[in-house]
Amino acid sequence: MTPPSLDDDLQDAVLAALGTEHAAIWCYGLVSAYLPTVSAADLAATAQAHRERRDAVVALLARRGVTAPPAAAAYRPPSPVTDATSAATLAIVAEDDVAAAWRAVAERTSADEDAELRHLALDAVTAATTTSVVWRRVAGRSPLVPAFPGAGAGA
């Protein structure tokens, strides 16, 4: 049985979420150079989780006849990364972007119509929020947990 195609709004949201996964993978390559106090294994595991989610999305899109766009060659951080605090801040931005994008996917799905995609989205929001707590702690941010994960700044 062929999975249902995605409507344009949902497809755009999934492609945006895929883009945040690509960016997060790139960001972890950069921040790893500035976070010597964080275990290299932990950083690698976090980047690997984003790779696995990226691969799951690419496969899901392929099953629905959608070609996933490749990652950009590089990304521009919102501010320069020069030390551990700015590296942790970039990781927070990456995880918050992932959470917001996947929340947008979840908002466009229903458990009845697309349980696989909805579960993927909810798992991604949860993982990104949990990971951002680690980076908020490293950066000395408060509160550690956003009130409404994935809702964006000021929520």
Residuewise pLDDT in 10s, the chain (155 residues): 567 778 999 999 999 999 999 999 999 999 999 987 777 888 899 999 999 999 999 999 999 999 999 999 999 999 999 999 999 999 999 999 999 999 999 999 987 778 889 999 999 999 999 999 999 998 899 889 887 788 865 44
Amino acid identity for residue 13 in this structure: A
The full set of domain ranges for the chain reads 8-139
> Which two three-digit tokens encode residue 1?
């049985």
Residue 68's Cα: distance from chain center in Å? 16
> Which two three-digit tokens encode residue 99?
């959470």
Burial class of residue 15, CB neighbours in 10 A (0-12, 13-18, 19+): middle
> Which two three-digit tokens encode residue 7?
């409507």
The CATH number of 8-139 is 1.20.1260.10
> Which two three-digit tokens encode residue 100?
């917001």
